[in-house]
Amino acid sequence: MLIAAIGAWFGGWIDELIQRITEINLVLPFLSILIMVGTFYSRSIWVILGVTIALSIFTGAIKTDRAIFLQVKESTYIEAAKAYGAGDFRIIVRYLIPRIIPLLIPGLVSAVPSYVFLEASLALLGLGDPTLPTWGKVINDARENGALYKGQFYWILEPALLLMITGLGFAMFGFALDRIFNPRLRGM
């Protein structure tokens, strides 16, 4: 959000650089990079989390946020702030960023299931942290020990069901927050 605000406010080569980095990052295969990190470097949850955060900085949200910031940049209250001598940093932090917070919070809550499923996918492939008991690791251990062949379906069905309930819960919470923060959706 801050990177998109800086790019939209200053424009020029700064905005172009941010947009090119974002476009490069959008074509990188996210899961494949994490599989390579887990295979060749480390299976620590902190290393994988660090790589996930590093890859998640320049995502499509920057393009969406930038479009909103470009609209807000043309508002009359931004013109008034420039007229009374507000600096660039003050305008970005006090006037631009608060306009996107109502859109940001539901988006962050709705993004949580994708990261939960990403961790479960890595653990299911055997690339998760071997010391942490996660749902993906439980499914992987059950698969490796032949739980399906022994008729112990609950070792796979229970964690899979809990993953689905978690994803559904966060999605519903994100939709509820979107309805609260977005006044156009309140009447629906």
Q: What is the full DSSP assignment across 90-103?
A: HHIIIIIGGGTHHH
- pTM of the predicted model, to two decimals? 0.72
The model's confidence at residue 182, banded by pLDDT at 50, 70 and 90, is: confident
Q: Could you read off the pLDDT of 110-164 as tens digits, one per residue?
A: 888 888 888 888 888 888 778 888 888 888 888 888 887 888 888 888 999 999 9
Q: Which pLDDT value is given to residue 187?
A: 62
Enumerate the domain spans of the chain. Answer: 1-99, 105-188
Task: Read off the pLDDT of residues 21-61 as tens digits, 9 standing for 90 and up.
Answer: 888 888 888 888 888 888 888 777 788 888 888 888 888 78
**Residue-averaged pLDDT of the chain:** 84
Using one digit for the tens of pLDDT, what is the confidence trace for 59-94?
878 888 888 888 888 888 888 888 888 888 888 888
* pLDDT score for 163: 92
**Four-residue CA torsion sign, 41, 42, 47, 51:** positive
pLDDT at 33: 84
Question: What's the pLDDT score for residue 188?
Answer: 59
Q: Could you count the other beta carbons within 10 Å of the beta carbon of residue 79?
A: 10
Look at residue 118 in the predicted model and tell me its pLDDT: 86
Q: What is the pLDDT of residue 185?
A: 64
For residue 164, the model assigns a pLDDT of 92
